[in-house]
Amino acid sequence: MLEDSRLLRLPTETLYIIMEQLNINDRKNLSQTCRLLYRMTTKFRFGFVSPEWEAVNVGITNSNIIASNYRDGVWSNNIFYLVIFFKDQPICWSLNLDARPITWTRTIIVLESPDSYEPVRYCAAAVITNSMYIFGGENIETEELSNVLYKLDMTSFKMVKIESSATTAPRKMHSLNAINSGRLVMFGGRCLMNGEMYDTQHFAIYDINNRCWSNIKSNNIPYRRASHSTIVLDEKLYIYGGQQINSSSASTETQIHDDKDIHLYDVRQENWNKIIAPYPDGSRLSPTLTLPSDWIKTDGSKVGRRVHAAIFSMSQRIIILGGKERDNFRYENETNEGRPWELLKSLSLEERNWDHIRIKGLPQMGCVAVVGEYKSETKGIFVVGKVHNDDDLIMGWIKDSIDI
């Protein structure tokens, strides 16, 4: 195809509409015709043409405390909220991506009942409207596991401890997500029984109006895990990665989970499905192989097995970014360029295809991330995280180095 063809004279918006009608192979063929269409198809697939890392240095005291607890935070309306439970009083740190320059704000939380206050870490949080719900964790004084449930008013910063008519087991390193305007969903985490730690596949739903937990039983529930990554899209909970204890002994080391697939729970249908990752060579499972009806085949690039990875949505795709890989990223060394942790993994739910794009200069770190406005009318990905076994806070933008 020539650079001056009639196709290239069409408006950019029209070209994107045309791309929506093409399958993945046709888009790849189109991208090989000229540089402009290559850039446009790349932009269509990932939201970026050539992404690169730009660090953001925000001066803050107690940055090591924030770095150690960053996975306890939650994004809401372009603001990252992180509650730190100190011995005597909780503090809420917030990071507003709409402010320029981006700065951390420290707010003292007012406790409705100071006598019932329980300081925890390794908890999980979710937001419904203007309220943040924080569940579980490890008591920072006694190091015992907790099943405390707090509700924080994000307007007044008043916090109340919620007493439930039915509750669930104490735990840490679990996940908590809002699935609609009235319910929270909790999965997995690390529990204690008879003095021994174990990772669980426990799945429960909390009704905020009835103040009651419901334990959900299922035969095809995901494997037990802790420190996994979750996202809710269209009332579907997606679970990826995590880690598990090798044995029941509290002194044994943990390992990153072998599971490279994604599990999803459909809230409306009340059932689980498994999105099967491609083989290491990127091929789809054999079409002659009979799979359970709740398994979904995918093809494309390898996914890998990570813990502390960010998971979020962008351009109608599920994105997996950062984290620590089970085999120290040897499993994901898909190119001869090295630095496989720079690869952003992208799953198209419609095409059931995995793809990846390299983010130049991305640090090797565990992280959480959100799509935000890098600059006026230009989207980027903002990342908060830390290097494993290090207390340095890392923040920055994933931005596009090429405009089209």
Say what angle helices 35-46 and 12-20 make with each other, to 10 degrees.
60
Report helix, strand or coil for 91. Answer: strand
Residue 287 is predicted with a pLDDT of 63
Edge to edge, what strands does the sheet with 90-96 contain? 74-76, 79-85, 90-96, 104-108
Residue 391 is predicted with a pLDDT of 78
Question: Rounded CA gap, 362 and 355, in Å?
Answer: 18
Cα dihedral sign for 254, 260, 261, 264? Answer: positive
Residue 4 is predicted with a pLDDT of 46
Residue 330 is predicted with a pLDDT of 57
Residue range 9-44, pLDDT digits in tens: 667 667 767 777 777 777 777 777 788 777 877 887
Cβ atoms of 343 and 363 within 8 Å: the answer is: no
Question: Rounded CA gap, 370 and 384, in Å?
Answer: 9
The 3-class SS string of 121-186 reads ECCEEEEECCEEEEEEEEECCCCCEEEEEEEEECCCCEEEECCCCECCCCEECCEEEECCCCEEEE
Question: Rounded CA gap, 128 and 185, in Å?
Answer: 12
Cα dihedral 373→375→379→380 (10° resolution):
-90
For the chain, give every residue range classified as CATH 1.20.1280.
Answer: 7-43
Question: Rounded CA gap, 305 and 185, in Å?
Answer: 23
CATH number for 7-43 (one of 2.60.40, 1.10.3470, 1.10.20, 1.20.1280): it is: 1.20.1280
CA dist 6 → 111, 150, 317 (Å): 65, 60, 30
For the chain, give every residue range classified as CATH 2.120.10.80.
Answer: 59-372+381-395
CATH number for 59-372+381-395 (one of 2.120.10.80, 3.40.190.290, 2.50.20.10, 3.40.190.10): it is: 2.120.10.80
Cβ atoms of 121 and 114 within 8 Å: the answer is: no
Residue 3 is predicted with a pLDDT of 47
Using the structure block, give the residue that is written with the tokens 């419904």: 128
pLDDT under 50 in the chain at which residues? 1-4, 249-250, 331-332
Residue 331 is predicted with a pLDDT of 46
Q: 313 Cβ partners below 8 Å, 6+ apart?
A: 231, 233, 319, 371
Question: Rounded CA gap, 178 and 80, in Å?
Answer: 16
Report helix, strand or coil for 257. Answer: coil
